[in-house]
């Protein structure tokens, strides 16, 4: 399937490989960040909607 369209358009292989690499690098970067991220940050963020939203009339 891939060969078929790589032949049709010159440079399509470049587009394909580049786009996939961009996605891969980006995905790995986000994953690494998430693995390294401070637990405290995640816990605090997670609770943002549940923290009292500041309303004082009820």
How many chain residues are in contact with other proteins, going by CB under 8 A?
Answer: 42
**Contacts with other proteins, 7-46, as mask; x by CB under 8 A:** -xxxxx--xx-xx--xx--xx--xx-xx-xxxxxxx-xxx
Q: Both tokens of residue 47?
A: 């609770």
What is the rounded CA–CA span in Å between residue 27 and residue 34?
Answer: 11
Torsion sign across C-alpha atoms 46, 52, 54, 58: positive
3 state SS of 32: helix
Q: Are 16 and 6 in contact (CB under 8 A)?
A: yes
Please state the closest distance from residue 57 (CB atom) to other proteins, in A. 5
**What's the min distance (Å) between Cβ of 32 and other proteins?**
11
Residues within the interface to other proteins (CB under 8 A): 1-2, 4-6, 8-12, 15-16, 18-19, 22-23, 26-27, 30-31, 33-34, 36-42, 44-50, 53-58
């Amino acid at each position: 399937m891939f060969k078929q369209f790589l032949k049709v358009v010159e440079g399509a292989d470049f587009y394909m490989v580049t786009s996939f690499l961009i996605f891969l690098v980006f995905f790995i970067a986000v994953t690494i960040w998430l693995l390294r991220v401070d637990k405290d940050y995640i816990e605090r963020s997670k609770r943002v909607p549940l923290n009292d939203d500041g309303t004082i009339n009820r």
